[in-house]
Chains A and B, each alone.
Chain A
């Protein structure tokens, strides 16, 4: 018991026996794993395995019917999206959830919303803390924009950007909140090899330079093996693999899930 207590403290995120179902259809069953602080963890598995649902549970968009989540030492029976954001969990979505009516800069600035101290009245009347804070927020947003190399498009409406750039802007918006845990839902979907390289580079930079723990859903095994420290494999809503990439790739159950079994 003492040992698991110690490991729990090192782990940023621990899922215990998570079960989720929609009107009787089970999305995930009895999922337990732990993500260490500062690591890049991949959630992989065939389509429909429940990966996105699990991510949604972690940041409170769905409520799990069974199980518990421990984040940064605190246990949560139910997490709401707002709570997750306040505690330092940020995420991107599979089908880009950018605010299409706003520019890149504005989208990134919305990510800073929890860092604001001035009230709306101060901002409306342009008094008090509003002005100085505007500058500071803009500075912080510009740092992220620099980091992800999207400066030329800062005033462009995001709806007008190509798909790859939109994904980067979404990443920037998530980073703007200075999260401890970053959840990425298929950040490289629909990208070509070169774009994937670039995005992988960014993710690694985020992890190494900013110290952010990353959990990502990814289908490209090459990427997974290349940048991840820890891999969790799901199939039909159950966990069938959990460990460092090399270990998981040799797991017969995982191979069977991906390649099918011989009858």
Chain B
């Protein structure tokens, strides 16, 4: 009843191509953005900003990066955290060694370096298909963390490769406060998601999906497999690199290479499995889940009679619940939360009718 499309027809192709075809959706998006940019800074407290919203945004971006490579282009990767690490350390080095470099430019360059590294480890994808490709990205994961720790040049000669955030400011505006960091993160994430959305709906996005679904047929149609796959690695690497820089500088403040280990890669893979492979919204949903789940679980445990579940066990329970949820999602809803959301929307469009 409220969510009807009646009367909303496209008269030109450009209108049909719009991301949000329904007027209700467009209004909803505007409201959401207003809320995010204006409402939250006024209403939110520091804890929520620093510990919940910022990691949520950064992980969504990381999820998007991996989703472009694995969900859309079909190239399985377990090296996401390594590319994030490259982005973080490259950004740090640009800020350090190129005095006066604007923050956003440093981050873009950091992303660029991550893109190059990703392409390097993505080259084998031209010969190796499917499952075996894991080896290449795993090699990236282990090699990068080793290199960043071993060669202290990367971390300006600090002992164990620790780097800390540079001063965050854009055009003289200090962004080091929680609100400042939040707005910086939000701005970057929104911009990159806009870019990502355009990409997946463009020719390149279609070519990615073609390569994912059946690459022989894609080649037969004239899709250049080399260029398509390498672009997937490069763009994914860029997004992951920027996410890594944000993770290190707006969320954590200081980071060492081991903060970008295999577990982090798994975490991002879980985000896109739970959120939905090949979906843009899914990255947000998956990241929200990953961030909120431990919080909810410990709150739940706190509600139970004291001593029933030992504090140390919470971590184990969390692990088990996570693993179980992955399996449940794969069985029940392989397209993740994004699909559940879609189903809900379809119901909403017909409400109060049933079908």
Contacts and interface: CB of A to CB of B under 8 A. Distances in A.
B204 A123 contact: yes
Chain A residues touching B, majority SS: helix
A111 B13 CA distance: 18
Interface stretch (B105-113, B139-147, B213-221, B289-297): B213-221
A91 interface: yes
Interface residues of B, number: 30
Interface string B279-292: 00000000000000
A171 B212 CA distance: 20
A195 B13 CA distance: 32
B206 interface: yes
B209 interface: yes
Interface stretch (B46-54, B59-67, B195-203): B195-203
B278 interface: yes
B85 to A, nearest CB: 25
A120 B221 contact: no
B13 A102 contact: no
B100 interface: no
Interface of A: 59, 61, 80-82, 84-86, 90-91, 93, 97-102, 106, 109-111, 113-114, 116, 118, 120, 123-126, 130-131, 134-135, 138-139, 173, 177
Contacts of A120: 199, 202-204, 231
Nearest to A123: B202
Contacts of B155: none
A135 B217 contact: no
27 contacts: A61-B216, A85-B221, A99-B213, A99-B214, A99-B217, A100-B213, A101-B209, A101-B212, A101-B213, A110-B207, A110-B210, A110-B221, A111-B221, A113-B223, A116-B203, A118-B203, A120-B199, A123-B198, A123-B202, A123-B203, A124-B198, A126-B198, A131-B14, A135-B13, A135-B14, A138-B17, A177-B221
A97 B13 contact: no
A61 B215 CA distance: 12
B222 interface: yes
Interface string B12-24: 1110110000000
Interface of B: 12-14, 16-17, 195, 198-199, 202-204, 206-207, 209-210, 212-214, 216-225, 231, 278
B13 A125 contact: no
A110 B198 contact: no
Contacts of A131: 14
Contact of B13 (A93, A123, A139): A139
Given A93-B217, A97-B217, A134-B13, 17 more contacts: A81-B219, A84-B220, A85-B220, A90-B221, A97-B220, A98-B217, A99-B213, A99-B214, A101-B278, A110-B221, A113-B223, A114-B222, A123-B199, A123-B203, A125-B198, A131-B14, A139-B13
B202 A124 contact: yes
A126 B220 CA distance: 28
A134 B12 CA distance: 12
Contacts of A86: 222
A99 B209 contact: yes
Contacts of A81: 216, 219-220
Contact of A113 (B198, B207, B216): B207
